[in-house]
Amino acid sequence: MIQTFLQPAEADAAPSLDTVETPALVLDVAKLDRNVARLRAHLDALGVAFRPHVKSAKSIDVAWRLFAKGVGPITVSTLAEADYFAAAGFTDITYAVGLSPDKIHRTRELVARGIDLSVLIDSLDQARALVEAARDGGVMPGVLIEIDCDGHRGGVLPDDPALVAIAGTLKDGGVDLRGVLTHAGESYAARGGVGLPEAAEQERAAAVLAAEKLRGAGHALPVVSVGSTPTAHFAKNLDGVTEVRAGVFMFFDLVMHGIGVCELDDIALSVVATVIGHRPEKGWILTDAGWMAMSRDRGTQRHPVDQGYGLVCDIDGKPFADLIIGDASQEHGIIKARPGSGATLPDLPLGTRVRILPNHACATGAQHDAYHVIVTGSRDVTAVWPRMRGW
């Protein structure tokens, strides 16, 4: 059984945020469920399928909560994730990072195990590598062509002749072209929600234009996949899109708060830490959550509100006004008033426990081996859910 509930012996010790070894990763499952329900309702209303990105979770137990019943389609960022989720019964998987030729054999092994796998390419070289592999007559994954909708990362522009050339190479070589996929990565540059409806429309339009070009060249193209957490929430019309992907939406974080996608109260992930020292003359309170526990992610560094290495809350998750982890070394996090805020430090004696909201849930989660699961308003740890890692 993958879900790890606390055993009676441990339960006798009344596991709670007051007693877990710190630093520890905390997941408020009530907020997780609320965040999932919110985006699912929005996408249902828009009439598109949902393929959540489990790179943020890296946990079977979290992935179960993303679907009303059973397992549904998922997106992954590594083949290790594909292996892990496949072993847990997820059968419809899109590997949404550009395919390296030397990983083709692993994608074929997944297909041979019964996984309906799609891979991502954006070049003729990748198409040729797939065609070359397919010559032995064995099973092959389906293919999506990555479309560049905003210049953020990889992909082919929708009107680039290379698009049709890649599709033709796949078709001639007997490799199954399924569709196009794009990711509005530039939406992370938004602040306070400004520009996000437009970014969502730009993402939709690029994917749909690319799909039309390919259909015009004789390809069936059943899949038109878009997605980023900001655009998924702000899309008003997804005509022509068949599925939406999003990952960090399930937890949210301070970056998403700064972008304008969530309230602080929606953030489901935090790190519980313990006060280990004071430097009152410097305005510092030292905790045992350094960058090893928070990650080095400084995603709010250029936001109007810089949250340092995280926003400090009391043990029950209520934020202290303008109290942040202002500096971090490997196992030390220094609580400071936000520069310019004039906030005064609360009285947090040695041994006090606090909770810290992360800049970037994906990065902070990756520093930990397990989620300590609670529900809003309680300190009881009701389960410990393991996380996977690696490639």
Binding footprint of its own copies on the chain (CB under 8 A): 21-24, 55, 77-78, 97-103, 122-123, 125-126, 129, 151, 153-154, 185, 274-279, 282, 286, 288, 291-293, 295-298, 329-332, 334, 349-351, 360, 362-363, 366-369, 389-391
CA distance 330 to 311: 18
Residue 286 or residue 312: which is nearer to its own copies going by CB?
286
In angstroms, what is the minimal distance from the CB of 21 to its own copies?
Answer: 6
Residues 369/293, Cβ–Cβ less than 8 Å: no
Rg of the chain over Cα atoms, rounded to whole angstroms, equals 22
In angstroms, what is the minimal distance from the CB of 17 to its own copies?
Answer: 12
Backbone φ and ψ for 112, nearest 5 degrees, come out as -65, -25
Roughly what angle, to the nearest 10 degrees, separates helices 104-112 and 124-134? 50
In angstroms, what is the minimal distance from the CB of 249 to its own copies?
Answer: 15
In angstroms, what is the minimal distance from the CB of 10 to its own copies?
Answer: 16
Query: How far is residue 36 from each of residues 31, 42, 370, measured CA to CA in Å?
Result: 9, 10, 20
Residue 242 or residue 274: which is nearer to its own copies going by CB?
274
* Strand ordering across the sheet containing 49-50: 49-50, 243-244, 223-226, 177-182, 142-147, 116-121, 92-98, 74-76
Residue 64 or residue 188: which is nearer to its own copies going by CB?
188
Helix (H), strand (E) at residue 374: strand 370-374
Residue 65 or residue 387: which is nearer to its own copies going by CB?
387
In angstroms, what is the minimal distance from the CB of 390 to its own copies?
Answer: 6
CA distance 39 to 36: 6
Residue 243 or residue 297: which is nearer to its own copies going by CB?
297
CA dihedral 226, 55, 148, 92 (to 10 degrees): -50
By C-alpha distance, which of 39, 61, 58, 34 is closest to 50?
Answer: 39
In angstroms, what is the minimal distance from the CB of 52 to its own copies?
Answer: 15
Residue 76 or residue 223: which is nearer to its own copies going by CB?
76
